Amino acid sequence: MEEMKIMVLGVRGFPNVQGGVETHAEHLYPLLAELGCEIHLIARSPYTPADHRRWKGIFIHRLWSPKASGLEAFLHSFIGVLYAAWHRPDILHIHAIGPALMTPLARILGIRVVVTHHGPDYEREKWGPFARFILRMGEQAGMRFSSRRIVISKVIKDLVQQRCGRDSTIIPNGVTLPKILTSRNMLKRYDLTPQRYVLLVSRFVPEKRHLDLIAAFERARLDGWKLVLVGDTSHPDRYTHSILSAAESNRDVITTGFQSGHNLQELYSHAGIFVLPSSHEGLPIALLEALSYGLTTLASDIPPHLEVALPSTHYYPLGDTEALSYLLRQFSGSINSAETRAALRQWVKERYNWNSVARRTLDVYRKCLTG
């Protein structure tokens, strides 16, 4: 089969753009380029420098979009579909159900479309009734009119079958097994002690439930421990301000802003416990990344977290800060040994592998072209 030309829509940009979809794409598409695909990313202007034209074999097409919640994805996706129609890729791969609203337009314009459903975004707390309606419409449009459908978990596969009457292919997120760093520059910067801080890495949005974790951490009263919250605070909204205010009133709660690369690796490498208290996820890459470092990991008991299949004792009822504080006290006294961390790393490597994700995605592309 000749080289396939793939255009990608629904990703704000990469590398080092915070977000689950962006992290997914940053890992996936260089591997697909190595497998022989010609990859063209349609990126959003606020997240992409004007001179950023090529990265790891991927062509970057920077198109204008507003940086405004609600309008950004809709307008950029509309422009992106028209742009794709002009360039005539073999396949347009749309990520997330918001941008997927444009799937029928792409099909009318004669483009084969693969849509990846990363999760029911209409369940996110930040959206009002109208935005939720549009996202539900995007889910229906993307799942009913696409040429092929990919979902990142069984939970989402069942949802698509139930709500849209369509079958889909499960291809989960992956992880790249990282090197455990011994350097401690970030620990010195924030006065952290190795294996004596709780870590959360996520966007600062309400469904991540940072305030639950802060309340549980304060209730747990872990002697000598700190809570480290990693996420972008450069454009704080009301929710972010509430987190920053809580951190200011407790010197053991630290916000680091957005971190990536070596800095983020250091924070993962030396953490004692990782917690993901979310009320909404697809298949959380941050949770898989924590496991790839062999960290003791706690999570709320929402279905996407349960699908990762941590031991039952590592889950707590969503929003139950007393239960979470109990787990923090319990696990702070039994940090994973080197042997346990090695076993966890091997487990996640075998189950969530980006090379496998890339090969399976390529198989969906081939079926899309021939089916």
> What residue spans in the chain does CATH classification 3.40.50.2000 cover?
5-174+353-370, 185-351
Rounded-to-integer distance, Cα 170 and Cα 242, Å: 37
Rounded-to-integer distance, Cα 65 and Cα 45, Å: 6
Reading across the β-sheet that carries 296-300, which strands appear in turn? Answer: 253-257, 226-230, 197-201, 273-276, 296-300, 315-316
- Confidence (pLDDT) at 53: 94
Distances in Å between the Cα of 68 and the Cα atoms of 6, 46, 139, 235, 285 are 27, 10, 21, 11, 25
- Asked if residue 233 lies in contact with residue 266, where contact means CB atoms within 8 angstroms, the answer is no
Assigned superfamily of 185-351: Glycogen Phosphorylase B; (3.40.50.2000)
- Asked if residue 273 lies in contact with residue 298, where contact means CB atoms within 8 angstroms, the answer is yes
Q: What is the 3-state secondary structure (H, E, C) of 168-208?
A: CEECCCCECCCCCCCCCHHHHHHCCCCCCEEEEECCCCHHH
Closest CA to 203 of 242, 238, 241, 229: 229
Instruction: Give the type of residue at 215.
Output: A
- Asked if residue 306 lies in contact with residue 359, where contact means CB atoms within 8 angstroms, the answer is no
Distances in Å between the Cα of 175 and the Cα atoms of 287, 288, 345, 348, 364 are 10, 6, 10, 8, 20
- Asked if residue 307 lies in contact with residue 282, where contact means CB atoms within 8 angstroms, the answer is no
Flag residues of the chain having pLDDT under 70: 1-2, 69-70
Distances in Å between the Cα of 323 and the Cα atoms of 9, 276, 367 are 40, 14, 47
- Confidence (pLDDT) at 67: 77
Q: What are phi and psi of 30, to 5 degrees?
A: -60, -35
- Confidence (pLDDT) at 137: 97
Rounded-to-integer distance, Cα 90 and Cα 102, Å: 17
DSSP class of 353? B
Q: Please write the tens of the pLDDT for every residue from 7-20.
A: 999 999 999 898 88
Q: With respect to CATH, is domain 5-174+353-370 assigned 3.60.15.10?
A: no
- Confidence (pLDDT) at 236: 87
User: Which helix (H) or strand (E) element contains residue 296?
Assistant: strand 296-300
- Confidence (pLDDT) at 70: 66
- Asked if residue 187 lies in contact with residue 193, where contact means CB atoms within 8 angstroms, the answer is yes
Token pair in block for residue 54: 């090529």
- Burial class of residue 178 (count of CB atoms within 10 Å of its CB; 0-12, 13-18, 19+): middle
